[in-house]
Amino acid sequence: MNKTLTRRDFLKMTAASLGGLIAAGCGLLTQTATPLASGPTEEAASASPSVPSAQADSGAPDNRPRTAEVIVIGAGMAGLTAARRLRGLDYDVIVVEGRDRMGGRTWTDSQLGVPLDMGASWIHGVNKNPLTELADSINAERVVTDYDSLTRYKADGTPLTNQEDTDIDALFEQFFAQVEFWQEDLDDDVSLQEGLNMFISNKRFSEEGMRNLLYAVNTTLEHEYGADVSDLSLWEFDQDGELNGDDVIFPKGYVQLVEAQAEGLDIRLNQIVRRVEYNNDGVKVITDSGEYSAQVALVTVPLGVLKRGAITFAPALPKWKTESIGRLNMGVLNKCYLKFSEIFWDTDSHLLGYVSAEKGQWCEWLNHAPLLGQPILNGFNAGAFGLEIESWSDEEIVASAMQTLRTIYGESIPDPEGWAITRWGHDPFAFGSYSHIPPFASGEDYDALAKPVGNIFFAGEATHRDFPSTVHGAYLSGIRAADEIEEEWK
């Protein structure tokens, strides 16, 4: 790349208007409701943390400068981390964010009276995880989730025996061992569903055995990757890495880490980016409410936004970049929090499992009673069913969830007094929960997404090959992108 401007040259330029992108965070266009509310409630203060430098568009004229050395598009974890590091390297940085809050897919909402993480919930693997250091620095309380603390129920609501529990785990281990063999043996990639079909064809399953297998596949793989096995590459779906140590959640929400990263930054909310123009003379970022100019832009919008073409790049991104964007997919993992007036369920187990008659319907629940002392259950749905219910009303989703709970605990259990529901697939600032690798894509596509194009740099979980789909992957991608900018433009 031939750069015609140094940082010093750029600082001498007068403020110029520029242009756009669908400012990425990734919150959640979710409708939430409670019986006490006549419509979607206003997000709690914890969902839109009060950081003096993060200012929303109040309708009044905004006379703040719209020129900086770097424009960061998106105030999620990747964008905030990159901006913070660049500020530490003495760069002038403006962060533009399309939402009216920071955090993107790390969003804590308190409308049910307690902090609830609607997107990311865990630090996955606390050992040598940069988020652990960040959480330590602000003394954020954390609680370990024990995945072995699990009570499972059959489709008719009766508990599984210890032997039946063991049999489910053994069955999944057999399937996964076969997958690992096929990953080495097959000459061509296929979907994980085709592998599952081959596994099933070589065995004789009872109806109950088939339910058990599909339950294990759903809760272990489809929830992990946010996609049906039909949309996961058998070769590549698990190419990502793992950090050691416990998984922990935040009783006071992930928002604490968002606020820590945002402190002192110049963040402009309600700046929906439509277009990014770039050449050797600089960058224009064009939003619905004005233009920003910079020497460099860092794009941290989710993969789903890039796949939808919500942002126009001029000149267009090169073919090698757009082909990788097209090959990778965005998955869905939706949450349904139900708050009750009393606890009527198991209080010893961190997780509740349900071997549903129909694959992947309300199969996994996080139990807030033992973890956080709250009368709250959080039901997860991934992939096709997770996306299907986004078109249902809140009341229909809650009724479906309650049908499962009443199958397990009886018809006399109370209705929830409130709920909070996510719809990540239809969120225009995300179009999904996190990225995954479908058939014929590979980890190399994550690498391609990470590569800069001229003076446009990229970060976000879908640009981190080792740790995609995680907050620590987003964090590390922000560090990497900031260092790339420093190396190229210092």
Q: How would you classify the pairing of strands 273-279 and 312-314? A: parallel
Cis ω before 40 (30° cut-off from 0): no
pLDDT in tens, 274-283: 999 999 999 9
- Is the CB of residue 314 less than 8 Å from the CB of residue 38? no
CA 141 – CA 170 distance, rounded (Å):
35
Strand partners, 172: none
pLDDT of residue 65: 84
- Is the CB of residue 392 less than 8 Å from the CB of residue 381? no
Encode 127-156: b = buried (16+ Cβ within 10 Å), e = exposed. eebbbbebbeeeebebeebeeeebbbbbbe
308 three-class SS: coil
CA 182 – CA 51 distance, rounded (Å):
51
Q: How many CB atoms lie within 10 A of CB 88?
A: 9
pLDDT in tens, 143-172: 999 999 999 999 999 999 999 999 999 999
pLDDT of residue 24: 32
Q: Is 146 left (phi over 0), alpha (psi -120 to 50) or beta?
A: beta
| Average pLDDT over every residue of 202-226 | 96
pLDDT in tens, 442-458: 999 999 999 999 999 99
89 alpha-carbon distance from chain centroid: 28
Which residue bears the tokens 């990502």?
240
Q: Which domains does the chain have, with CATH numbers?
A: 7-31+42-104+251-328+441-489 (3.50.50.60), 162-231 (no CATH)
Which residue bears the tokens 């224009």?
284
pLDDT in tens, 259-318: 999 999 999 999 999 999 999 999 999 999 999 999 999 999 999 999 999 999 999 999
pLDDT-based confidence at residue 7 (cuts at 50, 70, 90)? very low
pTM above 0.85, yes or no: yes
CA 382 – CA 133 distance, rounded (Å):
30
DSSP 118: S
